[in-house]
Structure 1
Amino acid sequence: MAYSIDTSYFVNAWKIWYPYDTFPRVWTVLASAASGRQLFVIDRVYGELRKQVPDLVTFLDLHAPGWSRKTSGDPAMNSALTRLESDLLAGKVIRDYPPQNVRRYLGVADPAIVLHADLHGHVVVSNELSDQYTKKGSKLPDLCQLRGVQHATPAAFAAIWGHTFRVSAQPPPAGASCQKYSSMRRTKSDSLGGSWAHALFSLPSGSTSRKDLGRPRVVALSTS
C-alpha cells in the first residue's frame, strides 16, 4: 500500500510536529519509506512544498529520489478532473458551491491528490477535517469519501509506522501556541525508541465545532 501525502501534513510535520533538528530519525524513517515508494507526493503537492518548506524538499530529493509523481498531462487524470467538474457543478460534492470557483478549485492540489489515489489505489494522508458545507472547496476527507478512497489522519498514519498518539490528561498552558508548547514538552532524545510529547490540533472529545481547533491539545507519540 502506498500513501499520498497532502501539503499540509508535510508542512506541519516539518515545521511543528517533528522538526528535523530535534527528530532526525523520524525523517530517516519517512525518507526510507519514500525511497521504497511506500509514500509519495503528486507533482502539484511537490510544487506547493517547494514554496513553503524548500529545505524539506531538498532533504527528500537527496534521500528519496522520485518521491514526486507526475499527474499533469495524464489522460486518465484529465478525464477524472472533467467528471469531478461535472459533479461539482451538479452539487454532488459541495452544497451551494459557487460555479465561478469550480475552475479555481480544480487547479489546486487537493482534487488531484484524491483522483490520483482513486486511479491507483493509494491512501490519502492529511490533517484536514470533514466539512461538507464549506464554500471554499471540498475538504480531503469528504472528497475521499465521495470517491471511495481511503483517508488517513496524522494519528492513523503514525500508527502505520508503529507509533501511537495518546491524549495527555495535562492541558496546555492558556494561550500557548502549538510550536511553543511543542518545544516545552519535547524530550531531548531523538531516538524512535523513546517517547515524547508535542501539540496536535484536533477537536476535543465530543465537540463538533471547528472553532475548537484554535487550542492545541497535548499528545504523546511513542513506539507501540
Structure 2
Amino acid sequence: MLDRWTTRWIRAPLTLLAHPLKNMGIRADQVTFIGFLIGLTALPLLAFEFYLSALTAILCNRLLDGLDGALARITHATDAGGYLDITLDFIFYSAIVLGFAFADPEKNALIASLLIFTFMGTGSSFLAYAIMAEKKGLSDPNFSHKSFYYLNGLAEGTETIAVFVLFCLFPDYFPILAAIFAVICILTTMTRVWGGYQTIKLADGVDTHSEKMPIAKKYP
C-alpha cells in the first residue's frame, strides 16, 4: 500500500549511492546476491535470539535490495536480474519468519507457519498476475521502473519490512504482531485475486496489442 510513495522518496538517494558502484564496475546482480547472503544471516541470529543483530542484517539486505535496482537503472536492467531479485526476496521474507519459529518453537512456530502460508497467497497472486500482465501488455504507471508488473495491496514491501522491524524490537510480541500481519496478508491476497481476475477478464475482451491498458484499481 505504501510502496508507491516510499519508492519515490528513496529513488534519488539510492541513485546517488549507485553511481560509485557503477564506477567500480560492480554489477546489479552482484549486489542482489550479496544482499541476499547478508539477509540470510538473520535466520541463525534470530534462532539464537540475537534480535538486534538480526535487525541489522535485515536492514542491510533491504538497503542492498534497493541499491541493486538503482544500479540496474543507471547501467543495464535485465529480465534475468529482475527474476533473481524477486525470487531471492521471497526466500528472504520466509527465512525471517522461520528464524522466529526457531527462536521459540513452542510460542512462535504455529503462528509463523500461518504467516508463511499467507505469504504464499500474497506471493502467488503477485507473480501469477505479473505473468498475465506481461502477456496482455498491462502496465502500472506507479511502478513503471520495476521489472515485474505490480498489483497493489495492503501488504507490500514497505509494510513487510516495517513488521520485521517490529518483530525484532518486540520479539515477545511476535505471535500477536504476526497474527495481525497474517490477517493483512489474507486481505491483500483476496483483493489481489479479485482485482487481478477482473482486470485480466476485462483485458481478455480488449485488443491490448495496439495499446496498453492500465491496471484497474480495486483497493481503498
Which TM class, normalised by the smaller chain length? Answer: under 0.3
Greater percentage in helix: 2
Which has the higher relative contact order, 1 or 2, with Cα contacts under 8 A spaced 6 or more apart?
Answer: 2
TM-score (norm 2): 0.23
